[in-house]
Amino acid sequence: MFKEVKKLPGLKRRFYISLILLFLLIALSSCDSIEQLNTRGESSHDAAFLTLEIDRLYGVKEIKPGAGRYRYEPEAIAEIKLIANPGYEVIGWAGIDGGDVIKVSDQNYKLTMSDNKRIRTNLRYNEFLLLDVKFNDIKTVEFNKLNNIIEIPHTIENINFRFNNKVSEENDLTIWIEAPDSEEENSVIRDFNFSISDNQIIIDIQPWFENFIELYFEGNDEENEINNEFEKEYILNIESNFANNIFDSSNKEYNEEIISLSFQIEEPNPKTPEIIGLSKDNGDVEISWHRTESVTKFAVEDYVEEYIIQRSRNNQDFEDNITEISVAVDLFDESERPVKIHRYIDSEINLNNNIYYYRVIAVNQFDNRSEPSDIKSTETLN
């Protein structure tokens, strides 16, 4: 009834398998790469790829779409934007297809994707320049805009000076801070730790700031070189001991003999606290309030660790019978999670005969006080 299906001998079966693999290998080799198979689709004619390369790493301030490989529809127009850093000049475009790039404006170009294209920036390096200054990872300012006194974070740890080329590690630098309006004879602090990394000079400012805080609280005496103050002008100087010029790895020189940065340190003040609850518990009163941040111009999380609870008895104007209670708080619980609500239980009261009024004042690490919170009264608890 049924015909017997004969199995292929082992040798012949292996031959057919090898033949199939050979055809598959030929098909794969017709594509530029496995990546192209995944991005192009079934045919090499349904997409065109732009490969964009950068010839000078430090010379590019902005480039769109960026260095890399991009897919376009055939005959589509690739729009390219290129802005060079100061000290560099855009000569044009290089690479196999650099001559096909058309200039639209000073910073904008276009390229018709009639086929796969490979282009490369063509920049000329003319002058060694300082580009910008970064304060921690919080604030970056272009150096040509540093003509006035710059306000910097009170949490300052390092100041990075970024250049438009790799800075030579052979530079021998002296770094110091001075207070130009100081009347003290020795108003200069020297010997700062610094490092040269790639195209940056990184100055460790944290030890100086810690000393600043210590002297800020102690005030000025015979041993102190500078009477430290917030929002006072200081000048950070960088000077080269090698021919009076800082130089790069290509032996180009920074033309100014001294780099000077005038700055002042912001003085943070606490935000006004918010009382969110007042409750009675067996004759005691529990006050609760949100944690309070310091008011800063920079993106830092700086929370207050001390509060003053002011209690006024039978007087909501806080003119007589005022008691101040200092409360130190923990910013984190046992699991190291932030504590967002603080509480205090006041047991030194007599609710039967008196009405008490409460308000909270935040005090930050610099002993600066906030404005008092809104007033809450025990009158509503009776």
Residue 119, Cα to own-chain centre: how many angstroms?
Answer: 32
Give DSSP secondary structure letters for 297-359: SSS---B--EEEEEEEES-TTS-SSEEEEEEE--SB-TTSPBP-EEEEEE-S--TTT--EEEE
pLDDT over 60 (residue 44): no
Q: Which fold has domain 130-267?
A: Immunoglobulin-like (2.60.40)
Q: Which fold has domain 48-125?
A: Immunoglobulin-like (2.60.40)
Candidate from 103-112, 123-132, 142-151 with smallest mean pLDDT? 142-151
What are the residue ranges spanned by the domains of the chain? 10-40, 48-125, 130-267, 270-381
**Gap between the Cα atoms of 93 and 86, Å rounded:** 18
Q: Across-strand partners of 309?
A: 325, 360
CA distances from 169 to 71, 101, 173, 311, 314 (A): 41, 38, 10, 61, 71
Provide the phi-psi class of 78: left if phi over 0, else alpha when psi is between -120 and 50, else beta: beta
Name the architecture of domain 270-381: Sandwich (2.60)
Candidate from 14-23, 137-146, 172-181 with smallest mean pLDDT? 14-23
Mean residue pLDDT of the chain comes to 85
Tens of pLDDT, residues 293-334 = 988 888 778 899 999 999 999 988 888 789 999 999 988 888
Task: Give the mean model confidence (pLDDT) for residues 139-143.
Answer: 88
Neighbours of 292 (CB within 10 A): 26
Same fold yes or no, 48-125 and 130-267: yes
**Gap between the Cα atoms of 342 and 332, Å rounded:** 11
